[in-house]
Structure 1
Amino acid sequence: MIEIFSGLERHFRPQALAPMFQLRKRVFHDLLGWDVTVRGDVEIDQYDDVNPIYVLSYTPGTRHLRGALRLLPTLGPNMLDDTFPSLLGGRAAIRRTDIWESSRFCIDPEISQDRASNQVTVAAAELMCAVGELGLASGIRQIVTVTDVFLERMFRRMGCPGTRIGEPQKIGSVHAVAVSWDVDDRLLADMKAIAGISGALLATPPEMRIAAAA
C-alpha cells in the first residue's frame, strides 16, 4: 500500500512522517554507517527542508512502514548536483523541470533480513512503480538517483535497469553510482509485470495535487 506526502506535512503532521525518518536513521546510520545527520532517533538532512515528495510503502491492514523514498525536482537543491557532483562524470549539472531525483530509498531492515518473506521485494517494487505512476501523471520525463552498486543490481532485477551517468566511485564505505531512468509506460508495465502488481497504486487526484505543488 502506497501513500504520498509533501514535505510540508513534516511540520503540520509530524507524526505521519516520523516513522520514515526513524527508518532512515536505522538504515543509513545504524546499519550502513553512512555519514548522515542524526537528530535523536531520526535522520533528517538539508534536502528535507526544500519541500520534497515522500513515497511510503505500508503493509496493508497493519500500516507497518515497509519502505520509503524521497523525490526532489532537479531545478532546486538535490543530492546529485549539490552533494555528489563527482558522480556526474564530468557532465554539467542536471537542472530541468522534467527530471527529478529519487533519494533516501530504504527498506525496513527487519523484513530485508527475513529471507522467508517477499515483503522486501513487494515494498521495493511498490516504491519504484509508484514513482513511475507519479512521473507519468506529473510530466516527469526522467528520474535520476545516487545509489550503490548493490541497489543498482536490485533495480535491474526489478525490470528497471537504468543508465549510468558516470562511473562508480568509492564514497565512504560503498561504491556509489549515479543512474537515470526514462519514465514511460513500457518501463512501468515491465516493472509491474515482474512484481505481479495489477492496477494503479496511487489514488487520484490527491497525489497529483501534491506533486504539482512541490
Structure 2
Amino acid sequence: MFNRIVINDRNRGQFGALVQEQLRQRRALFHEELGWDIPRSEHIEQDQYDRAETVYVIVEKDGEVQAYARLMPTVATVRYGQAEFSYLTRDATLGLLPGIPPHILGGRAAPQSEDVWEVSRVEAADKAALVTLFETIAEFAEAVGVTELITFTRKNFDRIVRGLGYDASVLGEPVQYGGKPYCAIRMALGARATKAGREAEGFKLAS
C-alpha cells in the first residue's frame, strides 16, 4: 500500500529524509540519465525553485520513494542577487533560464494567480504510483483553492494527463530542450474522470 505525503515548510523537518531521497532521485534522473545541465551538488539536484514556498508531493512504499512532484504557487517570488525569480515556466518566458526558449507560452503572459500553481520535477516508478501521485496533487489543490496547474515538460505529458482523467492543453509550440520536444501545458483539475489512470502511459515522464 502506498503512503501519500504532502510536505511543506511546516513539516519539512519531519520528512527531511524523504525530501533528500527525492532530491537524490532527481539528480540521478535529470542530470545523470537525461544529461540536463542543472544546479546540483555531488549527491542531489536542487535549484531556485526548491525553497520555503515549495510543496513536495511524495508517494512512498516500504520506505522507498515511488513517485514525486514539486508544486509552486505562481504568485511566489524570491530574489537572488539582482534577479527576481518566481516559478520555472514564467522565468523561462522572461529569459532568466538559459537553454529554455522564452516563447514557450506562444506569446501568452505567464499566469500569476492564487488558483494557478506550477508542477515540475514529476516522476513515477509505475502507473499505479503515477495515479496515486496525481490523486494526491488534486486533493491538495482542492484543499488550498487551486483549480489549474501549469508545467514545462515533455510533449507526451499532455496525453498522460488526459489518460489520468484531467483536461490538459498545450500552450505554444513545442521547443527542443535536451534534444527532445518540450512544451508548456496547462492542466485543469476541476473535472476528474472516474476511471482515471487506466489509459496512462509513457515513462519516463521527466518534467
Please tell me the TM-score bracket, short chain as reference.
0.7 to 0.9
Structure 1 SS opposite 2:159? helix
Tell me, in whole angstroms, the C-alpha distance in 1 between the residues paired with 2:16 and 2:60.
17
Is 1:90 matched up with 2:90? no
Q: Contact 2:53–2:73 (CA<8 Å) still a contact in 1?
A: no
* CA displacement at 1:172 relative to structure 2: 2.4
Extract structure 1 runs of 4+ deviating beyond 3 A.
7-14
Q: How does 1:45-124 map to 2 (within 5 A)?
A: 45-59=47-61, 62-76=62-76, 77-84=86-93, 85-107=102-124, 111=125, 120-124=126-130
* CA displacement at 1:14 relative to structure 2: 3.2
How many percent identity over aligned positions?
26
Change (3 A) 1:12 1:158: closer
| Amino acid of the structure 2 residue aligned with 1:151 | F
Q: Contact 1:66–1:123 (CA<8 Å) still a contact in 2?
A: yes
Tell me, in whole angstroms, the C-alpha distance in 1 between the residues paired with 2:172 and 2:150.
12
* Count of residues in Structure 1 that have an aligned counterpart in Structure 2: 179
Tell me, in whole angstroms, the C-alpha distance in 1 between the residues paired with 2:10 and 2:144.
19
Q: Contact 2:166–2:188 (CA<8 Å) still a contact in 1?
A: no
| Amino acid of the structure 2 residue aligned with 1:128 | F
Higher RCO structure, 1 or 2 (CA under 8 Å, sep 6+) = 1
| Amino acid of the structure 2 residue aligned with 1:172 | G
Tell me, in whole angstroms, the C-alpha distance in 2 between the residues paired with 1:9 and 1:194.
29
Unaligned ranges ≥5, structure 2:
77-85, 94-101, 199-207
| Amino acid of the structure 2 residue aligned with 1:102 | V
1:127 corresponds to which of 125, 133, 137: 133
Which is richer in strand? 2
Q: Contact 1:7–1:48 (CA<8 Å) still a contact in 2?
A: no
Structure 1 SS opposite 2:128? helix
Unaligned ranges ≥5, structure 1:
112-119, 197-214
What root-mean-square deviation, in Å, do the aligned CA atoms of Structure 1 and Structure 2 show?
1.9
- TM-score normalised according to structure 2 size: 0.79
Tell me, in whole angstroms, the C-alpha distance in 2 between the residues paired with 1:66 and 1:167.
31
Q: How does 1:1-214 map to 2 (within 5 A)?
A: 1=2, 2-7=4-9, 14-59=16-61, 62-76=62-76, 77-84=86-93, 85-107=102-124, 111=125, 120-184=126-190, 186-187=191-192, 190=193, 193-195=195-197
Q: Deviations over 1:153-183 (max 9, x none)?
A: 3223222340111111112222111111112
- TM-score normalised according to structure 1 size: 0.76
Q: Deviations over 1:43-71 (max 9, x none)?
A: 00011024200000112xx1210110000
